[in-house]
Chain A
Amino acid sequence: MSDMMLLFPIFVPVFLGAVMFLVPGKAKWVKEALLLIGTAVTLVVSILFFGKNMDFVLPWGGFGMDLSLKLYQFSSFILLSVAVFAFLIALYSVVSMKGHEQAKKFYAYMLLTLGFVSGAVLANNLIILLFFWEGLLVLLFAMIMTGGKKASPTAVKALVLNGVADLCLLLGVGITVFISGTAAMDKINLPMDFWGSFAFALMMIGAIGKAGSMPFHSWIPDAAIDAPLPFMALLPAALEKLLGIYLLTRISLDLFIFQPGSGMSIAMMTIGAVTILLAVMMALIQKNFKRLLSYHAISQVGYMILGIGTALPIGIVGGLFHMINNAMYKSALFLTGGSVEKQAGTTDLEKLGGLGRKMPITFTCFFITAAAISGVPPLNGFFSKELIFEGAAESGLVFYIVALLGAFFTAASFLKLGHAAFLGKRRTEHDNVREAPWPMLVPMIIIAAGCILFGVYNALPLNNLIQPVLGAKLGGESFAGILPASWLLAGISVGVLVLALANHFFGVKRTKSGLGAVDHIHYAPGLKTVYKWAELRYFDPYNIGMVIVGGISKVLWWVDRGIDWVYDKFTVRLVNILSLGIRKAHTGSHRLYIAWALGGMALLAVLVAVLI
């Protein structure tokens, strides 16, 4: 296999995506075929690539900006995951986007996104990485815009929030390249001195911003409502997490010397813990299927950041395992949400209920993936969470407790979601709802089955995909095994799940509905006000930022007016007054003129006298 092949997963989807724009709108199945071919080819190529080592360097740019691609264990693993998700979600969207007026554009952007994500994953040069990374920002904006007119504020919001994170990445890359003197990623290994830490922090912000961590998260719940559903399953649920966590791992493991217990480690764990708790608290009270899931998409990323932030092998392995697990169950959950929306016509939980009997396969998939995200043994989420718990417990008790609280609320909110959507009394207008068509079910079933497989047989992903990433740092240790390493922590986790179940029954009994299962938390004294403010977006960093920016721009507007006034009014008036004054002074009297000349001579004499 030639090293030129490395260009395939980038250029094939990008080319087909460009061709997509040329397909006439009326042509049937052509655009769907292009999408499936593009994703399938990428999938096949990435399967062939898996486990191989390849290097491709095209020195085209000068200043060290080579087009340098590198395939090794980690990038081939991420590339494969990306390709799998892209293919499954493409299959799903062929049906779910059918008849959508923006379908063609959406497919085109999807292919372009796939190509750019492949490029970012394969890039072995920070400048090239940045190129693909920023391209994804544009595509993100474009994809949300396919949601129609109402989506444009959300698209702008996503652009601004991600743009800020990307700007930080840009600065971080700039500093890193400047200090290390090279942009080749496999040659950089910087110590965490002052500038090193600064560059690391900036690049970390770029990475976790892409992954959707706080405070760059607030566009995701809005996009859940405004953007087409496959977008949510593809980007915020899967590809962005993969890409963001991939970069975070790269900078933590390779680019910088990242030590446990360092200031950066504590800062990262704090961001992770805060993201877990706040986002899951918001997820708890959501009354919309997709919006609830989107807050979990934020919350789960907190676990990965917490895990990698420990800088301990067990935490990093847990974070990476959680990344792949989350991409699986979260995209599957979004897909079940999409099925419900497609079949029942709404994702508003107040209007749903009792769909379990009408859509048994969807419900089953939901049940498995919800159990996985809640950390029910022996599903994949349980094992990755246990690894993170162990890493957190080793790094600091407070992080462990927050992570545990997050697990409790996750379980509680999924009990509520499942109960409200699939159990309870069915509404009369949903009597004729049927199961979703098979192209929508197949991806869900495959992913749900994967969740069971990765849980029961966790040695498969851990030994083959994740642990080789750390290589020598692991010291030959393996975290695989059907039984958790620490019985104590596992017991506590199961206890928390039981507590969540008890809490659910208490809430249901109290309000007599599945949707009201967490009302006693939602409307608890004190929390009630905070929740109200949060729902009013008082805490949305985007809104806060916009208020600040608005203030600044108002001040600048006045400054600008002032400068304009100085130029347009003041200067002109001053010149006019002076000019007229000088003109009037020339009366035509030669006596006056002689007087001026003599006066001038006197002044000259004074000047000379002063200078002498």
Chain B
Amino acid sequence: MPALFLLIPLLGVIIINLPGRKIGNRMAVWAALAVAIIQIGMAVTSGSMVWQGLAQVVSLPFGASLQIDLFTAVVLATTGLIAAMSLILDKNAENPRSLYFGSLVLVTMMGMNGVVMVRDIFSLYVFLEITAVASFVLISINKERDPLEGAFKYFVMSAVATVLILAAIAILLLTVGSVGFKAVADNLSAGGVSPQVIVALILFIAGLSIKAGLIPFHAWLPDAYSSAPPAVSMLLAGIITKVTGVYTIMRLITDVFSISSIMKTAFMVLGAVSIVIGALAAMRQDDFKRMLAYSSISQVGYIILSAGLGTPLGFAAALLHFFNHATFKSLLFVNAAAVESRSGTRQMSRLGGLASKMPITGGTSVVGFLSTAGVPPLSGFWSKLLIVIALWQAGAYFYAVVAVLASILTLAYFLIMQRRVFFGKLREGLESIREAGAAAVVPSLILAGITVLVGLLFPLVLLLMQSQGLI
């Protein structure tokens, strides 16, 4: 079954490119959307007996090297969800390159699916590169100046990351003799940590930190997020960097570095620094999407901090925040796209009072930022609460206090954003503005609904997590 997650997107790319450009432009996005929805369905049912039975009948290639556990399934479902939302949002603006867009989204999906399912470091690297290359093109798909600059920075930093990761893999291969997660982990736990392995790990962490956008490896991220087309920046912020960076780190922490307290400390420091500096940087941004980008850095810091704890509760909280962040941050990017498409600007100093003209966008934005800041009863409150509890239980009091105080900063910069964009007096020149089209409103309603529902039905989520042995 895992192979299907690679084969279906690949098949999708081939199919939409067969009929030629004209028809392809019209149907590509819809076909990709269908693939994304199939992926959600498959991911949600991945634990069921049907697939196991099917696996015994039909045997597909790579069966052994790809695996799906609960963590993987959650990420696969989230990937499908965010990709679907991004594809809908793409319909918000006239996109002459729909065929390319649809194909590239499918490629990134395939790359991400690979990243989450593989269980050895080298394959991980291959799928990371597939995703990254598709992302460069996606950012600069319109061949405009700013996106090209953003894509270039991403490209350069990614190249650095690639070098670091490849070097690390090479060293590991030399010393350990294998790149499978289990083999490396066993080697780390068995015979004392050799200096070479330490160097490899530092290189690996630095490379993944670039991918995840952790401070101080983050600098490409605001440029790339803010300059990319709306649907792309949402995909990028919502899922691509999360999977390539954050998921990979979480996976490696649990499967590979699980013994090393040094690695945990390193990740927790990185996480805490990202939380604080990301939040501080978001405070004085004028560009709507750039502010969201810094906010993403800050929120990723929470996930890494919690996962870095290495406790089961910390990991569960991180996983939950991973999902929640994907939904509410994508929601805010959808809203940013809606505002930009109607007003023609992302400068918050030129916006104001939009809530009266765009009630759905303004309203869902309130849901999004309150959830990000961790206000009950929204989903973000619960995951942040779990993170703080996990930190406190593990005795990481200082980090717990940092996490709580940074929530205040989060609330502060989002209140500034909300006031400058949606509340207050309507700015001159914006009188004729209308609510965004269905392509923007539908994803924002879906994502806001998920945010609210996960918050309200949190007891069920907790039960689910309990039944899966996560907490």
- Whether A580 sits at the interface, judged by CB under 8 Å, is yes
- Kindly state whether residue B462 has any CB partner on chain A within 8 Å: no
User: Is A604 a contact partner of B206 (Cβ separation < 8 A)?
Assistant: yes
Q: Taking the complex as formed, is B198 at the interface, i.e. its CB lies under 8 A from any CB of chain A?
A: yes
B402 CB to closest chain A CB (Å) equals 15
A475 CB–B CB distance under 8 Å: no
Residues of A within 8 A of B198 (CB): 608, 612
Given the interface pairs A583-B284, A590-B152, A612-B198, the reply to whether A600 lies near B277 with Cβ below 8 Å is: no
- Of A180-188, A278-286, A571-579, which binds chain B? A571-579
Within 8 A of B (CB), among A591-611: 592-594, 596-601, 604-605, 607-608, 611
Does A582 reach chain B (CB closer than 8 Å)? yes
Question: In the complex the two chains form, is B223's CB within 8 Å of A588's CB?
Answer: yes
Which residues of B sit under 8 angstroms from A612, Cβ to Cβ? 193, 198, 262
Docked-complex contact B284 and A601, CB < 8 angstroms: no
Asked if A28 is at the interface of the complex by the 8 Å CB criterion, the answer is no
User: With A582-B281, A583-B284 known to touch, is A601 a contact of B219 (CB < 8 Å)?
Assistant: no
Complex contact A582–B277 (CB within 8 A): yes
CA distance A579 to B294 in the complex (A): 11
A586 at the interface (CB under 8 A from B): yes
Q: Is B299 interfacial (CB-CB < 8 Å)?
A: no
* Given A600-B209, A604-B202, A605-B202, A575 and B219 contact (CB-CB distance below 8 Å): no
Do the beta carbons of A608 and B164 come within 8 Å of each other?
no
> CA–CA, A596 to B210, complex, Å?
10
Contact present for B262 and A611 (CB under 8 Å): yes
Partner of A597, one of B206, B261, B280, B412: B206
Set of chain B residues within 8 Å of A601, measured between Cβ atoms: 164, 202-203, 206, 217
Q: Once the chains bind, are B265 and A611 in contact (CB under 8 Å)?
A: yes
Contact yes or no, B280 A579, CB < 8 A? yes
| Interfacial chain B residues near A594, Cβ < 8 Å | 156-157, 160
Given contacts A586-B222, A604-B206, A608-B202, contact A597 B284 (CB under 8 A): no
Interface size on B, residues (CB 8 A): 39
Q: Choose among A597, A607, A608 the residue that contacts B219 (Cβ–Cβ < 8 A).
A: A597
- B-facing residues in A251-265 (Cβ within 8 Å): none
B266 proximal to A (CB < 8 A): yes
Cβ of B300 to closest chain A Cβ, rounded Å: 15
Q: Interface digits, B148-172 against A, CB 8 Å rule (1 contact, 0 not)? A: 0100110011001000100000000
- Chain A min CB distance to B340 (Å): 21
Report yes or no: B157 in contact with A579, Cβ–Cβ below 8 A: no
Q: Do B269 and A607 have beta carbons less than 8 Å apart? A: yes
Return the chain B residue nearest A574 by Cβ.
B280
Q: Which B residues touch A600, using CB under 8 A? A: 206, 209, 215-217
Roughly how many angstroms separate A594 CA and B215 CA in the complex, as a whole number?
A: 12
A248 and B77 CA atoms in complex are apart in Å by: 76
Complex interface bits, B281-301 against A, C-beta within 8 A gives 1, otherwise 0: 111110000000000000000
Q: Is B27 an interface residue (CB 8 A)?
A: no
| Minimal Cβ-Cβ distance residue in B for A572 | B412
- Smallest CB-CB separation from A605: which chain B residue? B202
The complex places the Cα of A601 from the Cα of B168 at a distance, in Å, of: 13
Query: Could you give, for residues 189-201 of chain B, a 1 whenever the CB lies within 8 Å of some chain A CB and a 0 otherwise?
Result: 0000100001101
**Across the interface, which residues of A come within 8 angstroms of B412, CB to CB?**
575
Q: Is there a chain A Cβ closer than 8 Å to B35's Cβ?
A: no
B215-259 CB mask vs A (1 if < 8 Å, else 0) is 111011011000000000000000000000000000000000000
How far does the alpha carbon of A101 sit from the alpha carbon of B262 in the complex, in Å? 83
- A593:B209 contact, CB within 8 angstroms: no
How far, in whole Å, are A600 and B215 apart by their CA atoms in the complex?
8
Q: How far is the CA of A612 from the CA of B223 in the complex (A)?
A: 36
B429–chain A nearest beta-carbon distance, Å: 26
With both chains docked as a complex, state the minimum distance between the C-beta of B309 and any C-beta of chain A, in angstroms.
16
A611 partner residues in chain B, CB cutoff 8 A: 261-262, 265-266
CA distance A605 to B222 in the complex (A): 26
Chain A residue at minimal CB-CB distance from B282: A579
Which residues of the other chain, A, contact B219 by a CB distance below 8 angstroms?
586, 590, 592-593, 596-597
B92 CB to closest chain A CB, in angstroms? 28
Give A576 to B283 CA distance when docked, in angstroms.
8
B409 contacts chain A at the CB level, 8 A cutoff: yes
Measured CB to CB, the closest approach of chain B to A599, in angstroms, equals 7
Q: What's the minimum C-beta distance from A578 to chain B, rounded to whole angstroms? A: 5
Query: CA of A594 to CA of B198 in the docked complex: distance in angstroms?
Result: 22
B409 and A575 contacting across the interface, CB-CB below 8 Å: yes
**B205 interface residue per 8 A CB criterion:** yes
Bound CA–CA A470/B265 (angstroms): 75
Q: What residues of A have a CB within 8 angstroms of the CB of B202 in the complex?
A: 601, 604-605, 608
Task: Decide if B217 touches A590 in the complex (CB within 8 Å).
Answer: no
Q: How far is the CA of A373 from the CA of B177 in the complex (A)?
A: 110
Bound together, the chains give a CA A605 to CA B199 distance in angstroms of 8
Q: Which residues of A contact B215 (CB under 8 A)?
A: 600
Please give the distance in Å from B212's CB to the nearest CB on chain A. Answer: 12
Complexed CA–CA distance, A607 and B206 (Å): 13
Bound form: Cα–Cα A578–B210 in Å: 23
Q: Return the CB mask of A554-581 against B: 1 if under 8 Å, else 0.
A: 0000000000000000000001101110
Q: What is the CA–CA distance of A611 and B156 in the complex, to the nearest angstrom?
A: 31
Cα A598 to Cα B161 with chains together (Å): 10
Name the contact of A580 in the complex, choosing from B156, B262, B284 (C-beta under 8 A): B284
In the assembled complex, how far is the CB of residue B48 from the closest CB belonging to chain A, in whole angstroms?
42
Q: How far is the CB of A106 from chain B (nearest CB, A)?
A: 53
B241 to chain A, nearest CB (A): 15
In the bound assembly, the distance between CA atoms of A608 and B197 in angstroms comes to 12
Indicate if the CB atoms of A578 and B209 lie closer than 8 Å: no
A605 to B209, CA, bound (A): 14
Give CA–CA (A612, B202) in the complex, Å.
13
Q: How far is the CA of A590 from the CA of B412 in the complex (A)?
A: 30
What CA separation (Å) do A598 and B202 show in the bound complex? 11
Could you give 18 example pairs across A and B, Cβ below 8 Å? A575-B280, A575-B283, A576-B284, A579-B280, A580-B284, A582-B280, A583-B281, A586-B219, A586-B281, A590-B156, A590-B157, A593-B153, A597-B160, A599-B216, A600-B206, A601-B164, A605-B199, A612-B198
Instruction: Please give me the 3 A-B residue pairs with the lowest Cβ-Cβ distance, nearest first.
Output: A593-B219, A601-B206, A579-B283
Given contacts A597-B210, A601-B217, A608-B262, 12 further A-B contacts (CB under 8 A): A579-B281, A579-B282, A586-B219, A588-B149, A593-B219, A593-B220, A596-B219, A597-B216, A600-B209, A607-B265, A608-B201, A611-B261
